[in-house]
A and B are shown apart, each in its own frame.
Chain A
C-alpha cells in the first residue's frame, strides 16, 4: 500500500471550514432556543423507506446475551420524534447518518446530517429557517430563494402534467428527451418521476439562488402529511447548484396512517426483493401519546460544505471517505 494513503481526502482548509460551519450552526440554534439532542445511531429498528437501505450491525453481551441485530440509522428521525412526544419542544441534532449501497461523487455511506424539528412551524416558516441555515453554512448571506412546486417544474421544464401521466407516458417522455437507456428500463411511476427529475430538471435548479421544490406528489410523501388536495404532500426539498441539500416535512402525526405507510413501504420492499424492516412500535407508541404539530427537516452538511468550497467530490470534504477508512 502506498504510504500516502493514510492522508485525509479533505485539505486542512476544508477541515477548518467544517469546524467553522459546525460552530456557526450550533451558535444559531443556541441563540434561537433550539435544544441540541442526541439519539442512538444503532437501533433495533430503522426507517422503512424502500429507497433507503440501512447498514446493519450486531450487539452481543450483557442485557442481550444471545445477541441483538441493530440498524445504523438512515436518519435520526424516529428517535427525535419520540423526544418531541416526550415534550422537549424544538430540538436539533448533528449526527452521522448511514445509507447502504450509496457511494459516488455526491454520496458516502456515512455522512453528516443536521436534523431539526420546530413545533408550531408550518412549511413556509420551516423553509425560511432552512434558507437561513443554508446561507450561514454556504457563507453566502445575500443568497436569494425561489419556490417552485414539483408539478409546476415538470409542467414548465418538460411540459408534463404529472397527475395525468401513467408510467408508460413518463417513460415515453424520458425517451423523447433522449435519456438513453430509458427505452429498456423497468420502473414504476415514481421511479420514472425520479429519473426525469434527476436527469432533466434537477441539474438546472438553484443556479445562483436557493431553490425550494414544494408539494411533492402524495406517492412520495414519505413521512409528511398530505395536503388538503389529497394528491400532493406537505414536503419540500432544497437545491443549490443542482445539488439536493435538504428534505423537509410538515410531519405526519396520525399514528394509524403512519402504521399504514410502514406496511405499504414493506409491501413495496418485498416487491423489489428487499428485506422488510421491523416496524418501529416505539415510534407508533409515541405518536399515540401525541406528537406535537411540527415541521422537521434534514440537511446534508457535507454537500453544503462541498458547495461552500467549490468542490465537486464529497471525498474532498470528508476526512476519510469509504475508500479511505
Chain B
C-alpha cells in the first residue's frame, strides 16, 4: 500500500480517503508557534466532485490513490457503457453513466477526452473544452436576422440542447464551449 506523508502534500496529489479517490486542491501548513502542527487541506472527491476541507496531524501518513489522467479516444456507446481507447496502447476502457457525468451531452465518436482512471477504471470523463456538433432540430429562424438578442433552442446530434442565434438552421454545424454550454460560432464544413 503506497502512502504519502503530509510533508509530500501539494496540489494535484491523489489520496484515498474513506474509500474514495480524492485530489488535493490546496494544502495549508498550520502551526501555533509552540505546539502541534497540522495540514489543513482542501480536497476534491473525484467520484462525487464534492469539495471539502480536511485536517491532518502533520507527520501522519495517508494512503495514496492509484489515479491517473489519460487522454483517450471515445469509440462508441452501447446504451449502458461508453467505450474509450488508448491510442498508444490500444487498450480499451468502459465508462458508466456516473463516470461520464456531463460529458454525455457533448462527446461524439472519435473525440479525445481526458479520462480519470482509478485502479485502471474510468471514474470521470472530461469532454474537450470545445466540440463541433451538428444541429438535428431547431425552429426555422428568419434569414438575415443577426441581431444577437434572444436566440432559440437547438437540439444537437448528441441530444444536448443549446441556445443559438436565430439565423442558425437545422443541419448546420456549430462550435460549443462544453464548460458553459454556450454557442461559440458556426462551423463551415471544410
Contacts and interface: CB of A to CB of B under 8 A. Distances in A.
B31 interface: yes
A199 B30 contact: yes
A51 B32 contact: yes
Contacts of A197: 32
B22 to A, nearest CB: 12
B179 interface: no
Contacts of A186: 57
B156 to A, nearest CB: 40
A195 B55 contact: yes
Contacts, number: 73
A182 B57 CA distance: 9
Contact of A247 (B33, B38, B53, B54): B33
Contacts of B29: 102-107
B37 interface: yes
Nearest to A235: B34
B34 A51 contact: yes
A107 B27 CA distance: 13
Interface string B18-41: 000000000011111111111010
A186 B57 CA distance: 8
B160 interface: no
A187 B52 CA distance: 22
B33 A237 contact: yes
Interface residues of B, number: 21
A181 B36 contact: no
Residue among A51, A186, A190 facing the most chain B CB atoms (10 A cut-off)? A51
Category for how many chain A residues contact B: 20 to 34
B58 interface: yes
Interface string A244-256: 1001000000000
A191 B56 CA distance: 12
Nearest to B7: A101
B30 A198 contact: yes
A125 interface: no
A220 interface: yes
Nearest to A244: B33
Contacts of A32: none
B133 to A, nearest CB: 40
Nearest to B53: A180
B18 to A, nearest CB: 10
Interface of B: 7, 28-38, 40, 52-59
Given A103-B29, A198-B38, 13 more contacts: A51-B37, A180-B52, A181-B55, A182-B55, A187-B57, A191-B35, A191-B36, A195-B36, A195-B38, A198-B32, A244-B33, A247-B33, A247-B34
